[in-house]
Amino acid sequence: MSAAIARLRTAAWLGWQVESNWADPFVFVVYSVSRPLAMAFILTGMYWAVRGTAVHEHAFLGFYVANAFHNFVTTVLVGMGWIVVEEREEYETLKYVYASPVGIFTYLLGRSSVKLALATISTLLTLAVGWFALGLRWDWSATRWAPLALALPLGLLACVFLGFLIAGWGLLLPRAAMAVNEGVALALYLLCGVIFPIDLLPRAIAVFSFALPFTYWYEALRRFLLGSGSSALLGAWSDATLLAALALSTLVFVLVSRWGYFALEREARRRGRLDQTTLF
């Protein structure tokens, strides 16, 4: 156990060096906060454009909060896929990481912890901008801390393990890895109710939404933080049912993603893809 912790700590330290040592601290901070701030102001501009005609303020608040927490999906889940691209294409060190005592799985897990920290900063910053600069306030007395504390780590766990699956696809499909990374982020943004209720999706597509833990995660975050969700379909569910669906779907994703990652890694090794670059 002590050896595993040491390897994980080393991977996290190395991940922090990779993420932060390319610029001085001020430039790094500006770069880290610019994207969430830009997204916050873009959403606000969209809201102001239709304010009073098609959007209710409380509904926009729910979408804003979900968009803030979507930083975890973008930074952690998609970021783990980009780790494979960076190590193989830019640094050409993936095969050395794979053969090192740390190992690729522990390395990815350590790098994901750094991305979790960066995503936490982005999420808190986005919420703070909404509260102080944009006037998006909610009633703290309606917040239910116990179920919120249970729902939050379940969604983060789903982010990390689905990130392993995306990284596995990156190991096996070098040229398609970049398209997979961006495609997954966009698909989850549209399918999981981040920017509009899942009730508006066509019935055939809505089936996929109910199979994703992030659909229940965003609804749970809205319900337990703001006091109400955004989906009429999920709104009829009790708190216990919503949390059970989130826990069950997360467990399934953890098991499937872990199995899928190792299966994809073995296939990538068999095909000699671990050190195959595309010169893209």
Tokens found for residue 279? 């010169």
DSSP code for 76: I
Report the amino acid identity of residue 238. Answer: S
In this predicted structure, what is the pLDDT of residue 52?
Answer: 61
In this predicted structure, what is the pLDDT of residue 55?
Answer: 53
Residue 107 and residue 18 in contact, taking contact as beta carbons nearer than 8 Å: no
Quote the CA–CA distance of 134 and 132 in Å, as a whole number.
6
In this predicted structure, what is the pLDDT of residue 248?
Answer: 97
pTM over 0.95: no
**pLDDT (tens place) for every residue of the chain, 280 residues total:** 888 899 999 989 988 888 888 778 788 777 777 877 787 778 777 777 766 655 566 778 888 899 899 999 988 988 898 898 888 888 888 888 888 888 899 999 999 999 999 899 889 988 988 888 778 889 999 999 999 999 999 999 999 999 999 999 988 887 777 778 778 888 898 899 998 889 999 988 888 999 999 999 999 999 999 998 888 889 999 999 999 999 999 999 999 999 999 999 999 999 988 878 877 6
**DSSP reduced 3-state for 147:** helix
Contacts of 56 (CB under 8 A, 6+ apart): none
Tokens found for residue 145? 């801390």
Contacts of 159 (CB under 8 A, 6+ apart): 72, 73, 76, 77
Bridge-partner residues for 55, per DSSP? 51
In this predicted structure, what is the pLDDT of residue 53?
Answer: 56
Quote the CA–CA distance of 54 and 61 in Å, as a whole number.
14
- Taking the domains of the chain in order of start, what are their residue ranges? 2-270
Contacts of 62 (CB under 8 A, 6+ apart): 222, 226, 228, 229, 230
Tokens found for residue 37? 């701030």
What b/e sequence results for 234-273 when a residue is b if at least 16 CB atoms lie within 10 Å of its CB, and e otherwise? beebeeeebbebbbebbeebbeebeebbeebbeebeeeeb
